[in-house]
């Protein structure tokens, strides 16, 4: 049986984390990720986390990997809401605490994966954001976001966005929009919040350019009006 260290109010992060490999989900520090837990091994993982610090390490499997190799950088989230359904599922919300490096996976008798976590590169993640929003970054982020959402046919709550921090906007867009796994991982691994915003901006610009190029190609196909 694995022994977990508690995550406490002094931000003492554990050396060992249960891993939840999930390809189509992204968790960022201070982001909120709702999860529907139903597989027996992950129900047991949730039980273990609830009993010791409430931390789960979200780690993304690499595309088409066999066996299921993980990206080396993940994000630990604390279970901040929890509900058990009548059919035995858990509905939980993880709030991102800190990114971590998977230093090594640990062999154990548990049915879920465990890792030794190295938090060294991401010491600043556990504190509230003290990095001031750069006005130019924020302006550019919102400008590109308007174009991206329009191209993707998505809507946003602009009343909430106009008063939100750059980090909150980045978290909301990066975690909810259908970016590719490698693109989301690049956002996750960006060193600072402003660099994370720049990575998201580049990702949205590429998506818009690809969408416009595809539309242009469709318009030029035979049989269509020029």
Q: What is the pLDDT of residue 2?
A: 39
Q: What is the pLDDT of residue 1?
A: 33
Residues of the chain falling short of pLDDT 70: 1-11, 64-67, 128-132, 218-226
Q: What is the pLDDT of residue 68?
A: 80
Instruction: Give, for 196, the enclosing helix (H) or strand (E).
Output: helix 193-219
* Residue ranges per structural domain of the chain: 16-126, 135-219
DSSP assignment of 61-91: BPTT-SS--B-SEEEEEEEEEEEE-TTS-EE
Q: What is the pLDDT of residue 201?
A: 97
User: Cα–Cα distance between 39 and 45 in angstroms, integer?
Assistant: 10
Predicted TM-score of the model (pTM) = 0.87
Q: What is the pLDDT of residue 65?
A: 61
Q: Render pLDDT for 157-195 as a digit per residue (tens, 0 to 9).
A: 888 888 899 999 999 999 999 999 899 999 999 999 999
Q: What is the pLDDT of residue 128?
A: 58
Q: What CATH number is given for 16-126 in this structure?
A: 2.30.130.40
Contacts of 36 (CB under 8 A, 6+ apart): 89, 90, 91
């Amino acid at each position: 049986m694995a022994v977990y260290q508690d995550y406490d109010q002094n931000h003492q992060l554990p050396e060992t984390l249960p891993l939840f490999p999930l390809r189509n989900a992204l968790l960022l520090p201070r982001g909120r990720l709702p999860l529907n837990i139903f597989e027996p091994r992950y129900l047991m993982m949730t039980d273990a986390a609830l009993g010791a610090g409430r931390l789960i390490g979200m780690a993304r499997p690499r595309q088409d990997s066999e066996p299921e190799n993980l990206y080396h950088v993940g994000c630990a989230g604390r279970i901040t809401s929890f509900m058990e359904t009548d059919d035995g599922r858990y509905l939980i919300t993880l709030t991102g605490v800190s990114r971590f490096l998977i230093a090594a996976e640990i062999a154990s008798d548990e049915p879920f994966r465990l890792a030794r976590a190295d938090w060294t590169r991401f010491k600043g993640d556990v504190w509230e954001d003290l990095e001031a929003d750069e006005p130019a970054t924020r302006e550019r982020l919102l400008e590109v976001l308007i174009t991206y959402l329009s191209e993707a046919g998505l809507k946003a709550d602009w009343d909430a966005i106009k008063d939100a921090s750059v980090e909150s906007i980045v978290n909301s867009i990066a975690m909810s929009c259908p970016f590719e796994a490698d693109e989301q991982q690049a956002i996750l691994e960006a060193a600072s919040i402003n660099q994370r915003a720049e990575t998201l901006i580049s990702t949205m610009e590429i998506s818009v350019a690809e969408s416009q190029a595809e539309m242009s190609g469709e318009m030029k196909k035979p049989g269509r009006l020029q």
